[in-house]
Chain A
């Protein structure tokens, strides 16, 4: 685990011992000093100390500020409870480890909907309470027993307008056609989206994607392997485009917008056949703030107002159909469910990914390495 996480765990342990009277004040403060935190932050980070706030586990960066302004403020106004953050990134393995250790410090994780399918049945997640959270305020099929989709993000791609000026690529088929469109490609390394894109390029119909034909997808991926790079994080993909390492880069839409801006329009986003991924809120089993508080928080995030603010601040597209009509004009090209994009997109199946995701990622890694 990372140093940051180790520090945090040390401090949380310390805070417990301090509260239980097993550690004196001086030792505790020394510990705080040694790990580089002032005691106020430590006590704030120790969620179990008080149930007057909800701890959101997200990916840091801008999301801390955006989740605060889009959801946190409305949530505090309605319930009087605050919102705090753990920005270490709720990867599936970390959630499992946290619940297994019995030391759950986060209330809600900003994760993927397929995490709800893989971690739910193994008892690592609280079920969503649909008397508080609404099934109608997300897309059909994206309100599952252990998680509900709050936002959508999409796998689209950007291309270099200087390389393909008059005859730009318009679909995944073009993306995978290295004869007609020469140049390096860059795909997502953790298989998600890359597999769907390969199948779409190979002529599979959008509504017949699942269950994914792994062999067919991997063959397509391998067919352009010599011209491909693979990125593992958004910033890596960003730098591959900005530094001109690849002529077409598969990318999340909100990142695509940043790339367009950073290259002064040299790279352009293509939304046709973008693959919509349901980003979901899931609740680790035994969360400290209690089930009721966290369900209210999730319900707040479903509101149209919060949905539009998340789009404005983070570039994450609303999943609540009531918000689709209110997407502002200038955001339309970058919002996957906007009127101009919604008919062109393909929906990810979280059930398939939840059950087969692990094997799919490994098969993908084996194919590209």
Chain B
């Protein structure tokens, strides 16, 4: 509430901060960068997460436990450590570039890091475990007999997957998309480091306005905008499907 108030009262009362959105050339660009990166991150993370979850559900019990352990262990590694590990691997003088150079495939280092590609690699890597968990829970509760019945009635493997399995995992996909997208919106460390300063996302911009330039009104406006953006997204999702099923409620 305080934030909403600040966004219309600092530096002077009125909707000046919101007008900035249309007048300034940079704000829409920053928001667009953020949304674009978040959408791509979400698509990639959820697709990868889907494959992982699928593999886990259909693995033997023992392997499944091992995979789950690895997945959870990855949550323990700090985001900073992961970010800097990517730099060591894929940086200009990183392992991969040195190796490719040594065997003569490239003459100039490939710019994996310090650009938008670097941000995407770092973010997808961070988000995949988050994408897996809701999908895994969803897939584990499916009734496997339905798939057997489908095959029994003459459907091919692909048909069974696309017409039976995929629709049944829709709540899991939606939950996973929401989780990853919302977490990505608030991403801060990875874009700042892996983007080499050139990829400016809303979360970092807000913190600059709060701490360095003291434009608290702009910061509050952007924060409010993100809040409403997420709420609108939830509302739209709710139009298409009952969100309560996504969050584990009973289907009515």
Q: Is A293 an interface residue (CB 8 A)?
A: no
Query: Is B197 a contact of A358 with CB atoms below 8 Å?
Result: no
Residues B25 and A366 in contact, CB atoms below 8 Å apart: yes
Mask for A341-364, Cβ within 8 A of B = 1, else 0? Answer: 000000000000000011101100
Cβ of A81 within 8 Å of any chain B Cβ, yes or no, is no
| Interface residue A291 (Cβ < 8 Å from any Cβ of B) | no
A50 vs B131: C-alpha distance when bound (angstroms):
51
Interface residues in A188-244 by Cβ distance below 8 A to B read: 189-190, 225, 229-232, 236, 239, 243-244
Shortest distance in angstroms between A50's beta carbon and chain B's nearest beta carbon? 30
Contact B198 A230 (CB under 8 A): yes
Complex contact B200–A93 (CB within 8 A): no
List the A side residues contacting B205 at CB < 8 Å: 365
Contacting A at CB under 8 A, from B159-196, are 192-193, 196
B91 in contact with A245 (CB, 8 Å): yes
Would B213 and A358 count as touching, CB distance under 8 A? yes
Place the interface of chain B in its size category: 20 to 34
B93 touching A369, Cβ below 8 Å: no
Interface membership of A94, Cβ < 8 A = yes
The answer to whether the Cβ of B203 comes within 8 Å of any Cβ in the partner chain is: no
Q: Which residue of A lies closest to B111 (CB)?
A: A184
Residue of A nearest to B219 (CB): A93
A189 → B minimal CB distance (Å): 5
Of the candidates B84, B93, B208, which one forms a contact with A244 in the assembled complex, judged by CB atoms under 8 Å apart?
A: B93
Option from B33, B91, B209 in Cβ contact (under 8 Å) with A369 = B33
Is A91 among interface residues, defined by CB-CB distance under 8 A? yes
Closest to B199 in A: A369
CA distance A361 to B88 in the complex (A): 30
Contacts of A93 in B (CB 8 A): 210-212, 214, 216
Residues from chain B with a CB closer than 8 A to the CB of A145 are none
Q: A231-B197, A369-B198 are in contact. Are A243 and B211 (CB under 8 A)?
A: no
Confirm or deny: B215 has a beta carbon within 8 angstroms of a beta carbon on chain A: yes
Please, which residues of chain A bring their CB within 8 A of the CB of B26? 362, 365-366, 369
Q: B177 → chain A, closest Cβ, in Å?
A: 27
| Given A243-B91, A369-B29, A369-B30, residue A229 in contact with residue B213 (CB < 8 A) | no
Chain A residue with Cβ nearest B192: A232
- Name the A residues within 8 Å of B198 (CB-CB): 225, 229-230, 368-369
Residues of A within 8 A of B215 (CB): 358, 362
CA–CA, A245 to B84, complex, Å? 13
Q: Is the CB of B93 within 8 A of A361?
A: no
Which residues from chain B contact A96 at a C-beta distance below 8 Å?
214
Given A92-B214, A361-B208, A245:B197 Cβ within 8 A? no
Interface residues of A in 108-144 (CB under 8 A from B): 118
In the bound complex, what is the Cα–Cα distance between A362 and B29 (angstroms)?
13
Interface residue? B125 (CB, 8 A): no
Return chain B residues, CB-CB under 8 Å to A94. 211
Interface residues of B in 201-247 (CB under 8 A from A): 205, 208-216
Chain A nearest Cβ from B55, distance in angstroms: 35
Residues in B lying within 8 Å of A, measured CB to CB = 25-26, 29-30, 33, 84, 87-88, 91-93, 114, 192-193, 196-200, 205, 208-216
